[in-house]
Amino acid sequence: MSMLNTKDILETITMIEEEHLDIRTVTMGISLLDCIDPDIDRACEKVYEKIVRKAKNLVPVAVEIEREYGIPIINKRISVTPIAMLCAATKGGDPVKFAKTLERAAQEVGVNFIGGYSALVHKGFSAGDRELIESIPEALSMTDHICSSVNIGSTKSGINLDAVEMMGHIIKKTAQKTADRDCIGAAKLVVFCNAPEDNPFMAGAFHGVGEPDTVINVGVSGPGVVRAALVKAGDINITAVADLIKRTAFKITRMGQLVALEASKRLQTEFGIVDLSLAPTPAVGDSVAHILEEIGLESCGACGTTAALAMLNDAVKKGGVMASSHVGGLSGAFIPVTEDAGMIDAARSGSLIIEKLEAMTAVCSVGLDMINIPGDTPDEVISAIIADEAAIGMVNTKTTAVRLIPAIGKSVGDELSFGGLLGSGPVMRVNTASPFKMIHRGGQIPAPMHSLKN
């Protein structure tokens, strides 16, 4: 038995040191429902006080766990109740005050990001929603740590086309307001269909109304580990490939479970979920695209990419579910173009195009993620891309999302660079045949027949 343990320990050390295995994020969810106040300044005071009180030990505890277990924890983050809900109760006042408060709290406790400058409008706009959405460009241009998300559709409710139209303008405006910083604002804004309430990953994290007062959610990451396992396995058939990925995902998720339990115990907070998504980074050897290429594609984006990704995503889920009873969030494989070294290369070479990425989103974990598009792309084209992606999520009862960065002043082939985990990449070609009339019809795209599962 001791031999087995030694082997497992050595294998984990190799995964960490050579194959980029890490805990991508420990995210503390904090409910702000008890901070609601008609006076926006008073509400902001309550928000700041609660976040700092609940999260003051988050970073020190994560650093302590890193040191004790030798497991890298890349990001420490916070998610909060969608701020539109707090806006609904205030008698006037600028929602950006909340953004500044969140920024101040993030700086005080030392986290990398704070998510939840968000609105849920999949079935229509309630009090506070429009005000918050309209303030997003300003909020993201004047803060460094805030992430924003808007849920515009769900399988149960259909797609709010009025909100879709609005988000085309908001994304463009956010990019314009941060054009001097490679349009970084748009990289911190995501539009969802079927947004999960317990997602630890940015930019889409918010603390759902069904969640406890505070909770710890952990996101693991290990594309490099999966690829290394495939390299070692050599020439095996596709069933064996799926089995190998499943077993590897089990090991990765086990580590995430360990960190999540330890963090929640030390922070005296409930343990929520492990999100077992394979989240890539721009580092070489940490790429989902390279896994697909190891399976046997000349380049990510080649014919066969969607099938390979479907198999990868399914195997990751099966392995992860065996390793933890608390799987949640997004859980699968991410395909953010600028955050994945292999995706960046495939986009630059022209092998990977937006239409192929859209097909891939039907079988993977999120959607059209971190894609640079020409700065002069019409707003309604951005809206239509959101509508297409939301339709895939709605019909397939899965989460889909859009995080597009209009590269202001740049065109196809130019580059944007964000640094850190957000990476860099080329501006990709977009089909600009106009969807203007459809987008401006407004209204609600009805929910699909299988939404009636009662």
pLDDT per residue as tens, the chain (454 positions): 334 455 555 566 666 655 567 888 899 999 999 999 999 999 999 999 999 999 999 999 999 998 988 888 889 999 999 999 999 999 888 999 999 999 999 999 999 999 999 999 999 999 899 999 999 999 999 999 999 999 999 999 999 999 999 999 999 999 999 999 999 999 999 999 999 999 999 999 999 999 999 999 999 887 878 888 888 888 999 999 999 999 888 888 888 888 899 999 999 999 999 988 888 878 767 789 999 999 999 999 999 999 999 999 999 889 888 888 888 888 888 888 998 899 999 999 999 999 999 999 999 888 999 999 999 999 999 999 999 999 999 999 999 999 999 999 999 989 998 887 788 899 999 999 999 999 999 999 999 988 887 7
What pLDDT is stored for residue 369 in this prediction? 92
A 10 A CB-CB count for 92 gives 8
Helix axes 96-109, 129-141, angle to 10 degrees: 50
What pLDDT is stored for residue 422 in this prediction? 83
Sketch the domain layout of the chain as residue ranges: 23-193, 219-448
Domain over 219-448 is classified CATH 3.20.70.20: yes
What pLDDT is stored for residue 12 in this prediction? 62
Fold match, 23-193 / 219-448: yes
Asked if residues 420 and 74 have their Cβ atoms less than 8 Å apart, the reply is: no
Asked if residues 132 and 150 have their Cβ atoms less than 8 Å apart, the reply is: no
Asked if residues 335 and 312 have their Cβ atoms less than 8 Å apart, the reply is: no
What pLDDT is stored for residue 224 in this prediction? 79
Residue 212 DSSP label: -
pTM: 0.94
Cα–Cα nearest to 169, from 422, 384, 427, 394: 384
Cα–Cα nearest to 136, from 170, 90, 97: 170
- Identify residue 32 by its one-letter amino acid code: L
Written as six digits, the tokens of 293 are 């290429």
Phi-psi region of 390 (alpha: psi -120 to 50; beta: other; left: phi over 0): alpha
- Each residue of 231-255: b (16+ CB within 10 Å) or e? eeeeeeeeeebbbbbbebbbbbbbb
48 to 118, 188, 347: CA distances (angstroms): 17, 21, 42
CATH fold of the domain at 23-193:
Anaerobic Ribonucleotide-triphosphate Reductase Large Chain (3.20.70)
Residue that has been written with the tokens 């926006």 in this structure: 40
What pLDDT is stored for residue 8 in this prediction? 56
